[in-house]
Amino acid sequence: MADKVLIKGRIWTVDPARPWAEAVAVRDGRIAAVGTTAEIKRLAGRETETIDLKNALVLPGFIDSHVHFVNGGYSLMNIQLREAKTKAEFTARIAAKAKSLRQGEWILNGDWDHTQFDPVELPRKEWIDAVTPDHPVCVNRLDEHMILANSLALKLAGVTKATPVPAGGEIVKDPATGEPTGILKDAAMDLVYDKIPAPSLEQNTRAVEAALKYAAEKGVTSVHDVSGEVGFGIYQDLLKNRKLTTRITFYIPITSADLALGLKLKTPFGGDRLRFGGLKGFADGSLGSATAFFFAPYADDPKTSGLLHGQMFPKGALEKRLLAADAGGLQVAVHAIGDRANAIILDMFEAVEARNGARDRRFRIEHAQHLRPADIARFAKLGVIASVQPYHLIDDGRWAESKIGAERVRWTYPFKSFLDNGVTLACGSDWPVAPMDPILGIYAAVTRRTLDDKNPEGWVPEQKISLEEAIKGFTINGAFAEFAESLKGSISAGKRADLVVLDRNLFEIKPAEIREAKVVLTLVDGEVVFRR
């Protein structure tokens, strides 16, 4: 007999053998059967819990293929600057936070977005120095490739106009005085980050618990956490105490490859709830910070074509690490946003395969935002997974053309072209850079309507994808990206009973209404972890 049955629903299974069903039975945390309500009712006994879905839509539990889980938890707890649209509001929020802290405590996170300011301008330390004389400030832009530090933080870090610029970074300086403005990009951010006191175990645990709660509310039952090792001990403790309500596959920095190789770890390693996925590297920065690496200069700043990440130095360092990691049986995922960065990583992947031989390695490029058309086909040829974040496109679409011009924009976030070429599209959020909300991600991929609603037919509409393909991106394709397609990602007999129930049927509403849908029930291993 089943432990639980869900009946009278509209279940889109993401299983081509049986795309639609009415009911599902759960036994011992797994899906025991999928079928009609009448069929599944026969599996219910006296002790079976029955959930009447009342015709609600059921999907496999969402898989977010790119999150910074611990940072995301902190973003829920720390200062919020994402909605600040003026200099005055930006300053006021930091001033209010300073008043709530003890003297000397740092003000962190923030996720600010200077493209919302009118006029558009980067914040400066002078905006906040007067309201934070006793508090070091290090608040990041929402893409986490740029920070604003106040004068106190710069002083603690020893950053002056004479400070050497780290390879792969930039210290923005006032053109008149040569003094740092407080904006540090990519590798230069570490100058300040290195001075921030390490959070306590208790603080990290609270951040993870906040993240788990948020994931359940959004129907996310699995994440690929690229935070590194920071949360691993906490995840183990929560798993031991049966409190790890989200499945976590974690990736550590490729600079820590020797640790994994020394332990002879291979991808994947671990259990159903917590597993080691592999290594995460970086090729470049981000578009919003003008550090994504392109072949041609930026349209709005012809002096630069972006920056290679510090991991790319000295020349050949990243490729050497990729070769060793791959030879050791580890999956590698590399952040690449600009077209030149993507081309460079594809070249490296091709060289690694030529050197180490053919195998099921599932290379990943994280973000894969801006590409030359010829490189899209190379993803398919090399079997590289495009790990993309659809929400970014409806955010960036408000201003991307001003930065890279109309021609390059045609091949930005090229989801349809990826699919047409047979590339696996694994979807995520990049939380806390963007909301960890797969429904918004699905909406973005299907409609490509920018956040300002100025593109009602879609920004670069020829790259829109179907609802079915978008859902696959947040389910079975995410499972494939972590070698777990036999475990989860579809509602099929034998797989883990990870399910999400929505308050409306996405297949029966207008695409523009998808963003209004809400999660009403989330189940992991058949156990309810969220109920609205």
Please state the separation of Cα 419 from the chain's center in Å: 20
The Cα-based distances of 329 to 155, 251, 252, 324, 483 in angstroms read 44, 14, 15, 9, 13
Token pair for 459: 């920004």
Q: Which helix (H) or strand (E) holds 171?
A: strand 169-173
Cα 192 versus chain centre, distance: 24
Instruction: Tally the residues of the chain.
Output: 532
Report the distance separating Cα 487 and Cα 484, nearest Å: 5
pLDDT of residue 78: 86
- The span from the CA of 169 to the CA of 379, in Å, is 28
CB 349 within 8 A of CB 323: no
> The tokens of 473 are what?
């991106």
Question: Would you write out the chain's pLDDT as a tens digit for each of its 532 residues?
Answer: 999 999 999 999 999 999 999 999 999 999 999 999 999 999 999 999 999 999 999 999 999 999 999 999 998 988 989 889 999 999 999 999 999 999 999 999 899 999 989 889 999 999 999 999 999 999 999 888 899 999 999 999 999 999 999 988 999 999 999 999 999 999 999 999 999 998 889 999 999 999 999 999 999 999 999 988 889 999 999 999 999 999 999 999 999 999 999 999 999 999 999 999 999 999 999 999 899 999 999 999 999 999 999 999 999 999 999 999 999 999 999 999 999 999 999 999 999 999 999 999 999 999 999 999 999 999 999 999 999 999 999 999 999 999 999 999 999 999 999 999 999 999 999 999 999 999 999 999 999 999 999 999 999 999 999 999 999 999 999 999 999 999 999 999 999 999 999 999 999 999 999 999 999 999 999 999 999 9
Q: How far apart are CA 330 and CA 238, in angstroms?
A: 26
| H runs (alpha helix) in 148-263 | 151-157, 190-193, 201-217, 232-240, 257-262
Domains and CATH numbers, the chain: 79-193 (3.10.310.70)
Q: Distance of CA 447 to CAs 40, 219, 386, 427, 510, Å?
A: 36, 21, 19, 15, 10
CB atoms within 10 A of CB 88: 10
> What are the residues whose beta carbons fall under 8 Å from the beta carbon of 468, sequence distance 6 or more?
none
Helix spans in 54-200 (H): 69-77, 87-99, 125-128, 151-157, 190-193
Residue 345 tokens read as 């990583």
> What is the pTM (predicted TM-score) of this model?
0.90
Distance CA 98, CA 42 (A): 61
Phi–psi pair at 312, nearest 5 degrees? -85, -5
How far apart CA 377 and CA 434 sit, in angstroms, is 28
Beta-carbon count within 10 A of 228 CB: 16
Specify the amino acid at residue 353.
Answer: E
Distance CA 502, CA 181 (A): 47
Supply angle C-alpha 501, 504, 508, rounded to 5. 125
